[in-house]
Amino acid sequence: MTEMKAVVPGNAVSVEQMNACTKAFPESRANRVARNAVTSMGVVNAARDQRAAREYRETFGVSLPCAKSVTHQDKSGRCWMFSTLNVLRSKLIRTLDIDDFEFSQAYVTFFEKLEKSNAFLERIIETADRPANDRVVNHITLHNASDGGQFMFCASIVEKWGLVPKSVMPETACTVDTKFMNEALGELLIADAAKLRAAYAQGATAEELEAQKNEMLESIHRLLCCCIGEPPTTFDLALAVGEHAQVDAALVSELNACGERILRDRGLTPQQFVERYVGFNADDYIELTSMPGTTRPFGHLFAIDWFDAVIGGRPLRLLNMEMTVLEQAIITSLKAGVPVYMMCDVGKRALRYAQDFKGLMATDAVNLEDLFDIDLSIDRGDAFDLNATGMSHCMVFQGVELDEAGEPVMWRIENSHGANEDYQGFLHITRDWWRAFGGDIVVERRFVPDEVLALRDTLPVEHRDPWDGFINYRPW
């Protein structure tokens, strides 16, 4: 029998040292003031620097006209979906010459859940020869039915399944609050995973496992229909459009005393709707990240294994570049009137809920260092390596204020938490905040320099595990 090595405990907290700290704490006036402030009003309100915050203005030299409505993801983790659709609706609004529109997020949610379920079961089959405590199997089973995702996940769904207006398939109780739907779906997927692994252990062939998986997808489809409703395969589009709408004139007629021009397109499939009125092609977009570190060199193209949500869809490909490359691409796109999808660590140093500074996110406006007399300085690469930050929320760049040198001062960001949150649904984030807690965009290729596109198109793809310190995306 192999002799077990004794576990040597580390040094315990010293009672004497901590008692001395407790006794000494109130002797400092700064400590007393900080204690009273934090215990009565909380960390953020006590740490806010009003003088710094009031220096920022809600003006933007470059500001895009946005849809009248502000979308609301409610109690769900579908920010990536809402943000992608917010980018796409700007295309449709221009095409139809209208001032507002909203796609059906419920329709996309239905197929997001279906595609993720298929990807999950395929990976269960792929790893059926591994033990249950294998790290890959553990990762797959931990992340089986949650809401998170990426622009390219949504792009894959749009290209395969199309889109419909929100009026055709509105939100349901299960899409505005996804918790219990996800729990039910997750239980079903884990039960199915156990069946597939047992079948493999009993000698089932790959063809037999695939057939069993397809039967499971029918049960998953039934669950989703109960929670979200049946997705339409065709629908009739009836929509008031503007004078300069770029549509088939034969489908437009004037109706009612207001003289509205009504577009009527009957029997549309969701795919035809995208083709005729959105004109979306995922090939037009590139994803750029700026996440430094010795394991994340700039000028390299990365993929995350066991991560893509749509089998056969658009794979996630991340070109890691200096932050200035991302910022110039954003500015170029905004100047051309095109919004940009982004990801950031939205909870950091945010005054977004303060009544007098609603929506503001600025590193100098929430001064934790002075409040607690601590040192929070950290290398940005270390912050990603050690999980101090990560890409936790998706939104859309809609404007920027530039200084005399053309450098960004503050960004205007469209959120998806409704018009009553933040500053009428928008965030204002400073250059320093974005450079500390941002670092992922999806932008049209035409706004990216040729030399950067050449890297994206020619570099070999470097694969990373989903749990390593590369990107630190919050897993789906």
Nearest to 130 by CA among 25, 24, 201: 201
Beta bridge partners of 318: 302
Give CA–CA dist 115/108, Å, rounded: 10
Give CA–CA dist 332/335, Å, rounded: 5
Q: For residues 390 and 53, is the Cβ–Cβ distance under 8 A?
A: no
Cα-based distances in Å from 194 to 132, 141, 458: 10, 10, 41
Q: Which residues contact 366 (CB under 8 A, 6 or more apart)?
A: 44, 47, 48, 49, 349, 350, 351
Q: For residues 74 and 255, is the Cβ–Cβ distance under 8 A?
A: no
How many CB atoms within 10 Å of residue 286?
A: 21
Q: Please list, residue by residue across 59-78, b when 16 or more beta carbons sit within 10 angstroms of its beta carbon and e when fewer do.
A: ebebebebbeebbbbbebbb
Q: pLDDT band at 223, cuts 50/70/90? A: very high
Catalytic residue set = 79, 393, 415
- Round the CA-based radius of gyration of the chain to a whole number and report it: 25
Average pLDDT over residues 242-260: 86
Q: For residues 215 and 111, is the Cβ–Cβ distance under 8 A?
A: no
Q: Which residues contact 49 (CB under 8 A, 6 or more apart)?
A: 364, 365, 366, 367
Average pLDDT over residues 64-83: 95
Q: Per mean pLDDT, which range of 161-170, 324-333, 361-370, 436-445 is the poorest?
A: 361-370
Average pLDDT, the chain: 93
Domain boundaries, the chain: 53-65+281-464, 79-231
Average pLDDT over residues 442-453: 98
Q: Which CATH class, in words, describes the domain spanning 53-65+281-464?
A: alpha beta
- Look at 11 and 412; give whichever has higher pLDDT: 412
Cα-based distances in Å from 280 to 163, 274, 277, 466: 11, 7, 9, 29
At the topology level, CATH places domain 79-231 in Cathepsin B; Chain A (3.90.70)
- The two tokens of residue 189 are 């997927």
| pLDDT value of position 282 | 96
**What is the arrangement of strands in the sheet containing 252-255, beginning at the earlier edge strand?**
235-241, 260-268, 252-255
| pLDDT value of position 353 | 75
Average pLDDT over residues 441-464: 97
| pLDDT value of position 339 | 98
DSSP state of 25: G
Q: For residues 223 and 187, is the Cβ–Cβ distance under 8 A?
A: no
| pLDDT value of position 467 | 82
Average pLDDT over residues 347-359: 81
Q: Per mean pLDDT, which range of 10-14, 331-335, 461-465 is the poorest?
A: 10-14
- The two tokens of residue 316 are 């996630």
| pLDDT value of position 475 | 41
Write out pLDDT tens, residues 316-343.
Answer: 999 999 999 999 999 999 999 999 999 9
| pLDDT value of position 476 | 38
Write out pLDDT tens, residues 120-144.
Answer: 999 999 999 999 999 999 999 998 8
Does residue 33 surpass a pLDDT of 80? yes
Does residue 76 surpass a pLDDT of 80? yes
Write out pLDDT tens, residues 130-183.
Answer: 999 999 999 999 988 899 999 999 999 999 999 999 999 999 999 999 999 999
Does residue 235 surpass a pLDDT of 50? yes
DSSP 62-79: EE----SS--B--BSS-H
Same fold, 53-65+281-464 and 79-231: yes
DSSP state of 231: P
Give CA–CA dist 42/266, Å, rounded: 56
Give CA–CA dist 476/139, Å, rounded: 11
Backbone angles phi, psi at 457, to 5 degrees: -90, -15
Write out pLDDT tens, residues 276-290.
Answer: 999 999 999 999 999
Share of the chain above pLDDT 70, in %: 96
| pLDDT value of position 469 | 62
